Each structure stands twice: as structure tokens, then as C-alpha cells.
Structure 1
């Protein structure tokens, strides 16, 4: 069985209702790059309450065909969050993070389907011209996924919490990458 990007729906994350699920996801060793390994459930709830209250940062859960939450997506305004002052933003830039939780029963192509769905969701907004990501430079698995959907690495940047690979994806690059599959 394989996963497809069209198999997902999205809903706003509810920090109180979803905190337990998110805690399991972000504290798992697979999620080391989320830097929440030692977080307690109340820390995760607090972090996502802050995001829910932030006009420049948003969190959604990706839902599988059965309606269950199967991944986390965050998007933000890089002028005001995450990358403020670290690069030259352009009008229509949107920052993005995604997390697929660890599983004992991996589905071939699932993570690529997730990133494809996340990028497609962001490009549904006609104001989005370019998606910006800044994963840890050591996270080679996500660099490969990013490139598969059209992201182009630009340079390394130093963030307070990590050395990151700044990468961009335009709508045109994404459409070409998806069409090439």
C-alpha cells in the first residue's frame, strides 16, 4: 500500500484536545529535530497554545482517509517568526514545518505524500509565491524530501537553536516536481 497526497484533509490543531497526541509525536526519538525530546505534556500544550494565539504562526493536523490525525503541519510568516532578520524575505513568502510521527507500520511513500500535501495546501492561497524552509543541516532525510517536491537549497544560516539549510520552493518548481512523478 502507498500513500497519496490527495488522501489527506486538514483541521486546525486544538492545543488542549491534541496535546497528548502531539506530546507522543514530538518527544519520540524520530522527532529529535523538533527539539522537544524532554518536553512534558503541559509544555507541548503551552507551546501550541502560543502558536494558536499567534497571528503569524499556525498549526494544522493532517487527517488520513479515516479521519485520524496522521501528521502535523505548521506554517508561519518568516518576516515575523523563525527567520526574521536571517534572510531577505520576498512578498508572498511562507515558512513551513511538518512532522510525520513514528510508526511500527510504515507506509511506502507516506512522508513524500505528506510533504506534497502540505506544499499543495500552502500554494492553494494565491498570495503564497514561495515557501521557505530551514531544517537542521544534519537532517539529510528531509533535505531529500524537500528537493523531491521542488525546494532548492540556498545557503546555511545560523539560527539560535541550530545550523539550518535555508531552502525555497516556488509554485512553478513545485508543479514541475509533482508533474515529473
Structure 2
């Protein structure tokens, strides 16, 4: 992707004028691309100015706006007089058997890490197997710091973002959330600030767990743990892969509960984990088996219950989402 989209937040200034037959895009105050649309069995996209060769950034912006406006649109067919070499090399467009026609597939578009990961995107960490605590697993990359994911959710009209937890900044908030009776019922981690500091410091020192804060419009509302399943206690209970990720989830702010909010943050969290390493095939979770509400929310987002099993401390449901299923049925907006 171009440097503007890959390393700067300029794409957040993308504005659109969309009708059934036209899409005009601007980035900030600068015109970006003008498209003519024909709707039938699929969506056909034509350049308003046939003489101009669109930039990679312009093609990306057109694909994004059209896919983000319709969760049922699975494919765009671009009609271009000149081969879009950068977009083809980038995987944004695919060549077809028909000269001048190129497709953008929803399932591929949302697997591209930029611009959702901002500056945190990096090549896949080299594979080197190690043994720790008696478990053989890949050596994990150093944990990221700061904001790791950002996307505008057009259903909510809000930005959903994920950043790494900062103990000094987030300790009091985390402790307040953990001492909420609703949270204590499932997490059972209530206690003092000092106890919670030790809890978070232990996780910070653990290379297999990443602690995250979820934000709507930059306001913290939730705490998440993303862990490598191969090194976790869940590993013996299923056929774990080297790069499977697991999640623990806590919504701390009452105002951000409810199925519409879960649909936003759970899809964002899952999306982030699949983008963070292209080798991740599955995301798993192990809510308490009697937590019917959370299990239902996860099933609504494409997770399925593989089985129930006994942890030493609880009867758990093994919830699982595969990369293929997530992107093939991707309804991100």
C-alpha cells in the first residue's frame, strides 16, 4: 500500500458522495477518484475519467467505500483500460479471463493488514521453535506497544480501536472493572490496586499473553487478553496449531454493553488477531459453559462451540473461529 495509507492516518479523512450510480471520493480537501457504478448481478465499477490511471490509493479507497457500504457485496468488478500493476501485485485486485476486467474480493480485501494495523504491521516473525515450561512452540515476536488496530464502524458511526494496556495509565480503571459485581461473577479477580498491579505485571512479563484496551472513539470500555494457545492451558484440550490465538474478554463500562457493541468489538478483536500474523488459522475462547449470553454473542459473529470440557476451575465451552470462515463470511463495515 502507498506510504500515505500504510503509515499515516490520512485515510481517516476519506469522504464520499455515494449514489446508486456514482461514487466520488476525496482525501481531505483533495479529489481522489470519480467512479461510475452499474448494479446488476454484481457491482461493476468504471472510471469517470477513462484517461486517468488510478493510483493504488484511489483503487483501495474505492474498494473500501463500496464494500463498507454493503455487507452483502462479495465482489467488485473493475473495468480499466490499463492494467493496474500495483493493485495486482498488492493483491487488492485480481486479473480475470476478460481483458480489462479485474475483481476485488471481500474475503481478500479484509485480510490486507493496512491501514487497520497502522504502523504496527511487520513481516511475519521468523519461525524458530523453542521449549518453555515443557511446551514446544514458536519463539514469539516482542509485544507491540501503543495502538495496534483502528477501524471506523459505520453501523455504530464510531471508531473502534485497540491499544496495548499501560499499567500506570490503566490500573485504576482495570481495578474498578474487576471489582464490578457483574465482572467478578465470571472473572473472579476482584481485589486491591496492588493485587491488580501484580496481576498485570505478571502478564506483561509473559511473552505468550498480550493485554489490550478496547476503545470506542478513543474512550476505553473493555479489557482483552490475547494469548498464544500453544503455550496456554487450553492446548491439551484440542488439536492446537502453532499460531492459534485465544481471547479473554471483559467489558467494563455499562454503557457499552449489548449485542450491537459486541458485534463491533468482537469482530474487531478477531480481525486484529488474524491480521497480526497471517499464519494464525484459528481464534479460540473458553467462556464458562453456562455463560449463555456470551456464547450466543460469539455464535452470532461466526464462532462455533466445538465442545464443552472441564478446566480445573470451571466447565468451559470451547468456542472457535477459523480464518477461512471469518473472511469468507466477513461482514465488516
Kindly indicate whether residue 186 of structure 2 is the aligned counterpart of residue 25 of structure 1. no
1:56·1:76 contact (CA, 8 Å) conserved in 2?
yes
Q: Give the Cα separation in 1 of the matches to 2:268 and 2:332.
A: 16
Q: Give the Cα separation in 2 of the matches to 1:55 and 1:178.
A: 30
Kindly indicate whether residue 187 of structure 2 is the aligned counterpart of residue 34 of structure 1. yes
Deviation at 1:101, TM superposition (A): 1.5
SS of 1:55's equivalent in the other structure is coil
**Greater RCO, CA 8 A, separation 6+:** 1
Structure-2 residue corresponding to 1:83:
234
SS of 2:207's equivalent in the other structure is coil
1:137 to 289, 293, 301: 289
SS of 2:312's equivalent in the other structure is coil
Taking a change above 3 Å as real, the CA distance of residues 92 and 105 of structure 1, as seen in their structure-2 partners, is closer
Structure-1 residue corresponding to 2:223:
72
1:119 to 270, 274, 279: 270
Kindly indicate whether residue 301 of structure 2 is the aligned counterpart of residue 153 of structure 1. no
The residue correspondences of 1:96-115 to structure 2 (distance < 5 A) are 96-103=247-254, 109-115=260-266
Deviation at 1:130, TM superposition (A): 0.3
Structure-2 residue corresponding to 1:63:
215
Aligned length: 178
Where structure 1 has 5 or more consecutive residues not aligned to the other structure, the ranges are none
Worse-superposed segment, 107-116 or 39-48: 107-116
Q: Give the Cα separation in 1 of the matches to 2:285 and 2:200.
A: 20
SS of 2:302's equivalent in the other structure is coil
Q: Give the Cα separation in 1 of the matches to 2:267 and 2:295.
A: 14
Structure with more helix by fraction: 1
When the two structures are superposed, what TM-score results if normalisation uses the length of structure 2? 0.49
Structure with max Cα Rg: 2
Kindly indicate whether residue 251 of structure 2 is the aligned counterpart of residue 93 of structure 1. no
Superposed CA deviations along residues 22-78 of structure 1, whole A, max 9, x for unmatched, are 111122122121121x3222111111111111100110111221x221211211111
Worse-superposed segment, 96-105 or 14-23: 96-105
Q: Give the Cα separation in 2 of the matches to 1:152 and 1:108.
A: 17
SS of 1:8's equivalent in the other structure is strand
Taking a change above 3 Å as real, the CA distance of residues 33 and 107 of structure 1, as seen in their structure-2 partners, is closer
Q: Give the Cα separation in 2 of the matches to 1:81 and 1:60.
A: 18
Structure-1 residue corresponding to 2:320:
168
Structure-2 residue corresponding to 1:50:
202
